[in-house]
Structure 1
C-alpha cells in the first residue's frame, strides 16, 4: 500500500513551495520538499532516494502532516538534558549563599564558590556539586559573585586601641625641604 500526503489545496501547495525556497529552517525546508514530492504522486522509495533519507522518515513526515498539519513542519526538539538539581535544591543553595557563613555554622567570614559548594554538600542539600554549577545557579538568580577583600581581625580585646596608637619605636625623620 502506498502512502501519500493528503490532497493539498492551491494555497497549501504555494506555502510549501515558498518554504522550500525561503524556509526559515532546513528542517522545514526538507519536510516541505518531501510533502511536495508526495503531492506529485512520487512513491516513498523514490522520495527517499531523491532526498537521501530513509523510507521510514518519509512515511513519518507524511503521516505527521496528514495528522497534525502545519505543526509537523516545526522541529520538536527534546530540550536537552534534564536539570540535575530540583528547584527546591537550587533555592536552598541561593538561600545559603545569601546568609553569612558564620550564621550557617561555618568557620570563615566570606563565601567562595568552592566553600559554598562544600557547604551545600555538608548540609545535605545535594550529594555533589561543583563550584561552576554553584556559579551558574547564582547567576540565574541574578546574584553576582565577586571576590571580596578580607581583612585580618584579632582576638586581642585591646586591638582597636593598639591599631590606631602611634608606634614610638619608629624613629621620626625631620622633614626635607626640596
Structure 2
C-alpha cells in the first residue's frame, strides 16, 4: 500500500524495519503475483532425515524380539534399539533417542513391562 501511494522504498524499509532490497523484492513479487506473494511458503524446521521406509523399518524392528535379530538381550529399550538401528548390517538408520521415542509413541509401541505386585493376594 505504501508503495502504491508513492512512498519511497527507503521510507518503507524504515517503516517495516527491513532491508531496502527485501522491500523491493516484495514489491516486485506483489506486482507479479498479487496477494499470493505475501503468503510465505516456508516449510519450517529442519529437513526430514528419516523416511517413511525408515519409520516402517524401525516399527518392524521394535516389534521383533531382540534375539530374533541377533541382539544379546530379551527386551528392547529406546537406547538399545537406537544403537541396534545405527549398527544394523542390513539397513542402517541413525536416529536420536528422542525422535525414536516419538516414532514409537506415534505407533503405539511401548517397552514398559507389566509388573505384578508382590505380596498382594
Normalised TM-score (structure 1): 0.56
The one of 8, 14, 17 equivalent to 1:49 is 14
Alpha-carbon distance between aligned partners in 2 of 1:101 and 1:40, rounded to the nearest angstrom: 70
Q: Identify the residue that residue 123 of structure 1 maps to in structure 2.
A: 88
Contact 1:38–1:44 (8 Å) recurs in 2: yes
Q: Within the alignment, does 1:96 sit opposite 2:61 as a pair?
A: yes
Contact 2:54–2:93 (8 Å) recurs in 1: no
Which residues of 2 match residues 126-145 of structure 1 at below 5 A? 126=92, 128-140=94-106, 142-145=107-110
Alignment RMSD, CA only? Answer: 2.2
Contact 1:114–1:130 (8 Å) recurs in 2: no
- In the alignment, structure 2 segments of 5+ residues that lack a partner are 116-121
- In the alignment, structure 1 segments of 5+ residues that lack a partner are 1-35, 151-178
Q: Rg bigger for which structure?
A: 1
Change in Cα spacing, 1:122 to 1:45, as seen in structure 2 (3 Å) is: closer
What displacement does 1:149 show? 4.4
Which residues of 2 match residues 47-86 of structure 1 at below 5 A? 47-86=12-51
The one of 72, 76, 79 equivalent to 1:107 is 72
Q: Identify the residue that residue 118 of structure 2 maps to in structure 1.
A: none
Per-residue CA distance 1:6-56 (angstroms, 9 max, x = gap): xxxxxxxxxxxxxxxxxxxxxxxxxxxxxx111111121222233332211
Aligned residues: 115
Normalised TM-score (structure 2): 0.78
Alpha-carbon distance between aligned partners in 2 of 1:76 and 1:61, rounded to the nearest angstrom: 14
Contact 2:76–2:111 (8 Å) recurs in 1: no
Q: Which runs of 4+ in 1 moved over 4 A?
A: none
